[in-house]
Structure 1
Amino acid sequence: MQIRSSEKEFLDLGFPHYSHEEYEDCLYKLDRIGRWLGGDRATWSALEKLEEPPQSILDVGCGGGLFTIRMAKRYPHSTVLGIDTNAEAIAFANKQLQQMVEPPSNVSFQICAQEHLEKNLNFDVVTSTLVCHHLTDTYLVEFLQQAHQVARKKVIINDLHRHSLAVFLFKIVAPICFPNRLIKHDGAVSIRRAFIYDDWQQYLKMAGFEFSRCSVSWRWAFRWLIEINKSERVS
């Protein structure tokens, strides 16, 4: 699997390729995948490396917002903003807050009408989970540059590892643990659209970053954790 696939996911195609109920169930199960298969842990580990807890976090492509809410709970003194271009995702995220007995007051969600990050945004940390594989190589480099401009301290990217074993295992596990038509189809496509180590080295180089401030590490299960530090070099 040396070349990224350009195949579209159902989620990229939008309605009517899936129902509202199917989509909400997909968001719940995607969150479960993050909690069960190490995605959350990867981002936590990157946040914990900061010398001080972040005072503000921007979660780009927050989807259903469940992980964004957990970040707000974990960092109660931080202002956390989740943004997504999908209005249905933001509606779902706001509904989660409304249904909570004690929702965190330091988190909010906004629809991002444009794909480019606004230059006037400013946050200690910019996070993005399972977003980059939806982007073309060219726009991915632009996104990294935009996120770097917005972040005061750190950019954290969490995405999939393109590997045939990952596809094989996902096709076995998904129907049993995450039964949802979108999950089963889009999950395998996502892996084929994802990345190998050399891809990230090339993107970081094209974005013009100092390698001494960047880290690309592999995490279970088949995830890449990319850390771009602005305040300190990676030891």
Structure 2
Amino acid sequence: MDKPDCDPAMLRRTYAQFPLINRAVSGWHGIYRRLLRPRLAAIEHPTLLDIGSGGGDVPGMLTRWAARDGLGLRITAIDPDPRAHDFAISRPPLPGLEFRQAFSSELVAEGHRFDAVVSNHLLHHLTAAELAGLLEDSRRLTRSLAVHSDIIRSRPAYLLFAAGTLPFFHRSLIRRDGLTSIRRSYTPAELRAAVPPDWQVVRDSRFRQLLVRGTDD
């Protein structure tokens, strides 16, 4: 998916199928209930930034859950890839959700701040320098909480995903890129060693971990 010469039809089908995968394995409803909602409910007119939002299904879910809970949440979802941005803005619009084609560093330069910053399955795509930049941008962009969710690399995760997706997704990149993502991901120990000490690695499930920073800056 990251390759600029990726087949555009397969890429769009992949973005269209992401909601199936993310609803099944990403765990964002639990993250919203346990970490995000308690913080955001205590803030008048809360705001959230989703970095690397891809096709836009995760910020869409967060927007709907927050609306159901009456939070008045406004979400900005950013991705620098024009293909992802074009797909995201083609989705039916949701009140309170805005998509931008941008890097997090651009929002830092513009002086933006948000009550929460999140990302989904982004960390394993980054080089060491890019990871350091993301965490510094997150620190500067959030007033309250940052939560980066990612896969845990393990042989059982690889084998289960390979078997579970084998009958499906033959006309998209879900299976191929998913297996590559598992191979590229961190173990909890590796992630702890790669990040500053003010970030906490939380094992959210057998196959998923959260990188969390709470702040009162």
Q: So what's the TM-score if we normalise by structure 2?
A: 0.86
Structure 2: distance between partners of 1:51 and 1:121: 17
**Structure of greater relative contact order (alpha carbons < 8 Å, 6+ residues apart):** 1
What residue is the counterpart of 1:52 in the other structure? 41
Unpaired runs of 5+ residues, structure 1, are 1-10, 98-102
**Matched AA of 1:191:** I
Unpaired runs of 5+ residues, structure 2, are none
Secondary structure at 1:154's aligned position in 2?
Answer: strand
The verdict on how the C-alpha distance between 1:27 and 1:39 changes in structure 2, with shifts beyond 3 A counting, is farther
Matches within 5 A, 1:1-235: 11-15=1-5, 17-18=6-7, 20-44=8-32, 45-50=34-39, 52=41, 55-76=46-67, 77-97=72-92, 103-112=93-102, 114=103, 116-119=105-108, 120-205=111-196, 209-210=197-198, 214-220=199-205, 222-231=207-216
Question: 1:71-116: CA deviations, max 9, x gaps?
Answer: 122223111111001112111111112xxxxx4221110111x463
Structure 2: distance between partners of 1:178 and 1:47: 32
Measure how far apart 1:219 and its partner are. Answer: 2.8
The verdict on how the C-alpha distance between 1:124 and 1:67 changes in structure 2, with shifts beyond 3 A counting, is same
Secondary structure at 1:142's aligned position in 2?
Answer: helix
Contact 2:51/2:119 (8 A) holds in 1: yes
Structure 2: distance between partners of 1:46 and 1:176: 35
Question: 1:177-202: CA deviations, max 9, x gaps?
Answer: 44444112111111111111112212
Secondary structure at 1:155's aligned position in 2?
Answer: strand
Structure 2: distance between partners of 1:181 and 1:93: 17
Secondary structure at 1:27's aligned position in 2?
Answer: helix
Structure 2: distance between partners of 1:192 and 1:218: 18
Q: So what's the TM-score if we normalise by structure 1?
A: 0.80
Contact 1:62/1:82 (8 A) holds in 2: yes
Structure 1: distance between partners of 2:62 and 2:42: 11
The verdict on how the C-alpha distance between 1:94 and 1:88 changes in structure 2, with shifts beyond 3 A counting, is same
* Number of matched pairs: 208
The verdict on how the C-alpha distance between 1:136 and 1:179 changes in structure 2, with shifts beyond 3 A counting, is same
The sequence identity of aligned pairs, in percent, is 23
Q: Runs of 4+ in structure 1 displaced over 4 angstroms?
A: none
Secondary structure at 2:112's aligned position in 1?
Answer: coil
